[in-house]
Structure 1
């Protein structure tokens, strides 16, 4: 080639700009989802739920921000938001209300994809959420085929525990699937002492009783759920089926002794005798439920999307108790049996359309039918129990619910989003009782508004601080048991035994078909900060003004099943109430939260809540909503030991003792509750994890009581002290 030849020049290459937006994994992904939500939503991922190695989801919920749990430490219980349970907190599974009789003890953390906490109601998830909503999302399909097995065992006190979880997930061109099965066998022991004291106006003791109870319980069960999703021809189209099955049975046996110091039992005066001095009982119960849900998602010609969903649920429970009493008023052999069956049908739909960039509109409907049938029988020494007014009667209740809603989410400008919604819901409850037919109707319209403002940073773009605000209407409808509750006669003061009426601290129970729903206006305002290194700092304030508060009231009432007045506890509408509070949360690495002296390997999390309420119709002090603690604190830490395969950590949840004032001088109280849980986890790659955990490490007694002061100066008190137990568990998790 001549030296003067010119080498060919390659054409210029134009490089296009490519942006990669990495969505952080695990908890960071959950924080990112929380940050972007237009309505306040706390997202707790599966990894955080599994961390402590809990056997049931109910045990995991106590560590979540703003959540307290009913009952004794170490035994799970019903979750509450802002200290408000009993229908104020809405519990959903995959966006649908929990089936009647279903317990969160049936679900293991491994079967859950995430838990969402909505502090204020939204139109889609429903407004029966004065305190807020806990939505439990079950496992979804994985991007690749995975299998997992979890085997665990331990002891609750001295009683053995065992559980196994199996899971298979996968995805291909046509079908995504997740199948999860959990089986368990648990043993537990209960010991308690109840002291009852009645005093005359001048302080003279009129009754002193001490009852000691001891029982052992063994329960076993199976919970299986699956999700199958078929892709349609158009992107976004799919058909999904989600069956799940739960079956369990339990056996509980126990004994009780009743000692009476005042009055001293006199053989010549039956009024001085206790109902019994010794008792033994044996209870066997079973529960089964099958549910099938399905939804179809279709993209319409205008680009909008229609999702329809159906659900079928069938549940049945059975319980039988044999009780032998001796001493006191005489020997007695008692049996009782209860059966219940629930059937539920629901159909719902949602139409969503994207109007423009950052602007979407959705509307939908929900239709639900529920039928509950229950039967209870009881005998004494082989003959029908005449003290039970509803023995042998079958109760049938039917509930119909219709709801329609619309919601508009709009990003007005970068960093400023609004959510506007409205929901109308009507409920009709019908039933036949021994006192006649009941037909109860209620309807509620609930407007909803949420605001999210991401404050501008130094560059003028939305920064790491944001403000949230909400103005909402919500409500709490009386449940079937409150409206058409089966009457229950206190076993210590049966009807027709010659002992006369019962006492205020040992009332009968019944429903009230005239109840009205509680309606509430709610206001929220909060600040959130997301540090650049990850984590969260937040502060939130809230207030609820509630009308027609429902409260259980114990009164002397004329009853058709006795020729004397009886003390009966029944729900009533009392009038308005106000609840308010302040919530703070911090989470992140020790370096993020404490500064340069902290370690990146130490993750910290803490939440605190101040909670107050006042019922106008009850004189103070302590005229708060039922069971609402004045404050709550949860702290936790997870430390990854650098250079090893170990992670250790723990959490402490604390609520103080408090008193709740009631009507007509009746008040209840409970002692402070501290639950300390510890764990250690060893991990080999991503395939094997071994966890050892100690729950309820402090094992402090759980103390509750009641006190009633009568107008004439008489005082009746009861104090119950329950033992609690440490729960030691070891479990191994394999992924293959």
Structure 2
């Protein structure tokens, strides 16, 4: 029996509302619905754009690109760090794996134009910093799914809507440069244009931008908290690369229907260079205290593209739509690490070895989907039904070569003999659904059923494993329009999370968790969650909105690590050494001889299994409005605050979901000066602490405050210049690591190592010129 039922979780969320959320008060002023915004005109005018009030019955927050654009975001990740409940546990100035409600990125569904896209993450996540901000029209945060969308969205979904030829008219050119703390300057160039071409409408865009992030890290290591100092590591970490993207859209009426074609391609070239030195003293860089010199270089090339075609037409008294799409993610990475070690048992430390490791990764993730849907009136309601077909093929080849020098001064031998592992994971899905929606007085409603089937085949080094699973996913959404300005919403939905690819792959990974090994299980079942969202939203004047949302997720069949009972490679090696030593002292001895060693391992082979349950709950507040009520129509403010919590049981007791931030706060303002043709603004972000407890390791992550600012000058209706500054407070990432060899050591708090790590980066300044036409 679960210790916390759904009702108790909701009660907790309600109980903390007054304690966890700053109070936002706004005067009800009434007024008509917000006017539509001309996206092209906003490029050079001073009009401040706010969070949109979505018309969807399902709880959805919609943010047009101009909500973010004043701060000149480079990627979708830079955009998402400003919206409610989205957290990141990445390096400083990196915003890659979006964690909606603070949960692992694998619990968040990332959509592009409403369709899933493959990514490189083993947890099925998609790195949102791979999509340039220039190709985006708006971002939607879908808090609870409907039946006509894929159900793998336990935390919710983020829909990235690209610019469409049917909605966008005109164009612009963007030129700029960014200057980083170490003096490096990178360029950015983009152009977008759209208009009529014969009977069709066409949009095209191209973007090229330099990506750069210089960081410094310092790690202090001890044998235990408060214990004896062991070593210090100083590291420089530079990520240098460039992104190039192209996006196209074509829309044309053909016969009684409309044809739409779209595509986006993103190419990433990136080099990550780390240089580290270890010393046996807390401060100082004297050669007599040097323990090791380590250099690591990763050369990364990623190609990501998606194409989609759709045709909608009237049929049988309703509207029918056929969609086809194909997405591909290619990742080719060569990682090389070399290290020179020194033995501090001598004074000064003597040369103790020179070794290198090269790892070659070739990943291809293809996803093909087809969808057929039909909408038609059903009395006073609307009926929609359809089926989604998806085929995923993920091929991964991993090669590892290790070499070492025999004598001091010798170069490393060539990387020749690679230990290669091939894996291929294929998934076929057939997902039919049925949905009804309608309006009854002041009540908008929607309800539906979706049945998702997953046929999985895992092939590793010639061995194949298959697993089939089906799950029924009901959903229901209610929105009560209390007044023209106030509405209350309630959503219930069942969702799923499919297992991470590394948890499905039966490959033995030695020393994956301390001294413990790990092997995946291809028969893992999906996690499922029953969720509820309860929200209230109030419109402030014509353009403002404030909302409060409570959410709860009851997660079943949670995937956790379990002990197979098999001894680890480390334990077997120690036992063999013990037997060899015994035989050397007792020639001719055999098993059963007095004193003959008995295998008594303290580290094991672990696997993943569906063994647990968990719950996630929290409160989300968002405010976005001009200060009309105070006579300041040219001043806009925004604030969102999320209080997040969860419970999971593991072998050590109760904890939160790993790396779930305790809170996320964003607050800022924008001021337009129409008489001067200028604008300026400030944005402040603070993310709460995150904790993770894994087998043999526990981590606490803390981020400093992030401050951004911009100032803009406009010249007529076509030219604008923006200067932005990010990371103006020199935010740092501070981590505390508790490391152990075995689960027994972790329970007894017998540390292998205790580490304090700090990572920091300086401010980044960007100058951008835009010309609209």
TM-score, normalization: structure 1?
0.84
SS of 1:59's equivalent in the other structure is helix
Q: Give yes or no for contact 2:51–2:545 (8 Å, CA) kept in 1.
A: no
Q: Is the 8 A contact 1:163 1:183 kept in 2?
A: yes
Q: Is the 8 A contact 1:553 1:663 kept in 2?
A: no
Secondary structure of 2:620 counterpart: strand
- Bigger shift: 421-430 or 612-621? 612-621
Note the C-alpha offset of 1:560: 6.2
Contact 2:214 2:236 in 1 (8 A): yes
Question: Which residue pairs with 1:10 in the alignment?
Answer: none
- 1:569 is displaced (CA, Å) by 7.3
Residue in 2 aligned with 1:9?
A: none
In the alignment, which residue of structure 1 is the partner of 2:145?
121
Instruction: Please point out which of 665, 684, 694 is paired with 1:652.
Output: 684
Decide whether the 8 Å contact of 2:517 with 2:569 is kept in 1: no
Give the 5 Å matches for 1:3-402.
Answer: 23-25=35-37, 34-101=53-120, 103-141=127-165, 145-158=169-182, 159-171=184-196, 174-199=199-224, 205=228, 208-234=230-256, 237-260=257-280, 277-300=292-315, 302-328=316-342, 330-356=353-379, 359-381=381-403, 391-402=419-430
Distance 1:276 1:348, change over 3 A: farther
- Superposed counterparts of 1:431-470, under 5 Å: 431-434=458-461, 436-455=463-482, 462-470=483-491
CA-to-aligned-CA distance 1:570-624 (integer Å, 9 cap, x gap):
64434111111111122212233xxx3x522110111111111111346556x10
C-alpha separation between the residues in 2 aligned to 1:226 and 1:119?
A: 29
* Structure 1 residue 83, shift from structure 2 partner: 1.0
- Which residue is equivalent to 1:606? 639
Deviation at 1:170, TM superposition (A): 1.0
Match of 1:517 among 522, 526, 529: 526
Structure 2 residue aligned with 1:714: 750
- My pick for the range that moved more, 545-554 or 107-116, is 545-554
Aligned residues of 1:73 and 1:675 also touching (Cα < 8 A): no
Cα distance in 1 for partners of 2:551, 2:385 equals 27
Trace 1:570-589 onto structure 2 (pairs within 5 A): 571-589=608-626
Q: 1:21 to 1:38 in 2, by over 3 A?
A: closer
Task: State the Cα deviation string for residues 464-492 of structure 1 (Å, max 9, x = none).
Answer: 111101111111111323312765556xx
Would the alpha carbon gap of residues 336 and 390 (structure 1) be closer, same or farther in structure 2, given more than 3 Å must change? closer
Change over 3 Å in CA distance of 1:323–1:113 after alignment to 2 = same
Q: Identify which of structures 1 and 2 has the higher relative contact order when contacts are C-alpha pairs closer than 8 Å and 6+ apart.
A: 2
- CA displacement at 1:144 relative to structure 2: 7.3
> What SS does structure 2 have at the residue aligned with 1:601?
strand
SS at match of 2:675: coil
Secondary structure of 2:152's aligned partner = coil
Counterpart CA distance in 2 for 1:356 and 1:345 is 36
CA distance in 2 between partners of 1:29 and 1:211 (Å):
47
- For 1:667, the equivalent position in structure 2 comes to 698
Q: Which structure 1 residue ranges, 5 or more long, are not aligned?
A: 1-19, 263-273, 456-461, 491-501
CA contact (8 A) 2:144 2:493 kept: yes
Distance 1:699 1:30, change over 3 A: closer
Is this contact kept in 2: 1:198–1:208, CA < 8 A?
Answer: yes
- The structure where helix makes up a greater share of residues is 2
Q: Is the 8 A contact 1:276 1:325 kept in 2?
A: no
Shift of 1:722: 0.8
Q: Taking structure 1 as reference, are residues 334 and 343 closer, same or farther at Cα in structure 2, changes over 3 Å only?
A: same
Partners of 1:290 and 1:144 in 2: how far apart? 22
Partner of 2:733: 702
Classify 1:199/1:604 alpha carbon distance in 2 versus 1 (closer, same or farther; 3 Å).
Answer: closer
The 2-side partners of 1:688 and 1:245 are apart by 28
What is aligned with 1:11? Answer: none
Query: What CA deviation, in whole Å up to 9, does each residue of 1:614-670 have, x standing for no partner?
Result: 11346556x101111222211111101241111101111112224344567x53211
Shift of 1:354: 2.8
| Rounded Cα–Cα distance in structure 1 between residues aligned with 2:300 and 2:649 | 41
How far apart, in 2, do the equivalents of 1:276 and 1:216 lie? 22
CA distance, structure 1, for counterparts of residue 506 and residue 62 of structure 2: 36
The residue matched to 2:656 in structure 1 has which SS?
Answer: coil
Distance 2:425 2:498 in 1: 15
> Is this contact kept in 2: 1:503–1:567, CA < 8 A?
no
Separation (CA, whole Å) in 2 of partners of 1:489 and 1:232: 59
Q: Give 1:212 deviation, angstroms.
A: 2.2
Quick one: structure 1 residues 613 and 315, their matched pair in 2 at CA, closer, same or farther if it must change by over 3 Å? closer
**1:73, 1:696 within 8 Å by CA — same for their partners in 2?**
no
Cα displacement (A) at 1:390: 9.0
Deviations 1:109-156 (A, max 9, x none): 221111111111111222211111100000011567522111111123
Q: Does 1:478 align with 2:492?
A: no
Q: Structure 2, unaligned stretches of length 5 or more?
A: 1-31, 40-46, 121-125, 283-288, 343-351, 406-411, 575-600, 740-744
The size of the alignment, in residue pairs, is: 673
Return the alpha-carbon distance in structure 2 between the equivalents of residues 388 and 676 of structure 1.
48
Q: Does the C-alpha gap of structure 1 residues 147 and 30 become closer, same or farther in structure 2, counting only changes over 3 Å?
A: closer
Taking the aligned partners of 2:291 and 2:359, their CA distance within structure 1 comes to 18
Could you tell me how far 1:513 is from its partner in structure 2?
2.7
RMSD: 3.3
Counterpart for residue 732 of structure 1: 769
2:213 match: secondary structure: strand
The range that moved more, 20-29 or 548-557, is 20-29
Change (3 A) 1:316 1:524: closer
CA offsets per residue over residues 234-261 of structure 1, 9 Å max, x none? 2xx1112212222221223332222347
Tell me which residue corresponds to 2:707: 676
CA contact 1:313–1:345 (8 Å) conserved in 2: yes
Q: CA deviation at 1:29?
A: 12
- Kept in 2: contact 1:629–1:657 (CA 8 A): yes
Q: CA deviation at 1:306?
A: 1.1
- TM-fit CA distance, 1:430: 1.4
Question: What SS does the aligned partner of 1:231 have?
Answer: strand
Distance 1:167 1:39, change over 3 A: same
* 1:713–1:473 distance in 2 versus 1, CA, 3 Å: closer
Check 1:196–1:678 CA distance in 2 against 1; reply closer, same or farther (3 A cut). same
Partner-residue secondary structure (3-state), 1:478: coil
Q: What is the CA–CA distance in structure 1 between the aligned matches of 2:172 and 2:732, rounded to whole Å?
A: 38
* Local SS of the residue matching 1:60: helix
TM-score (normalizing by structure 2): 0.80
How much does 1:713 deviate? 4.3
Change (3 A) 1:418 1:552: same
Task: Note if contact 2:117-2:306 (Cα within 8 Å) is conserved in structure 1.
Answer: no
Q: Structure 1 CA distance, aligned partners of 2:699 and 2:111?
A: 29
Task: Summarize the Cα distance change of 1:382–1:296 in structure 2 as closer, same or farther, 3 Å threshold.
Answer: farther
Aligned match for 1:631, one of 663, 671, 681: 663
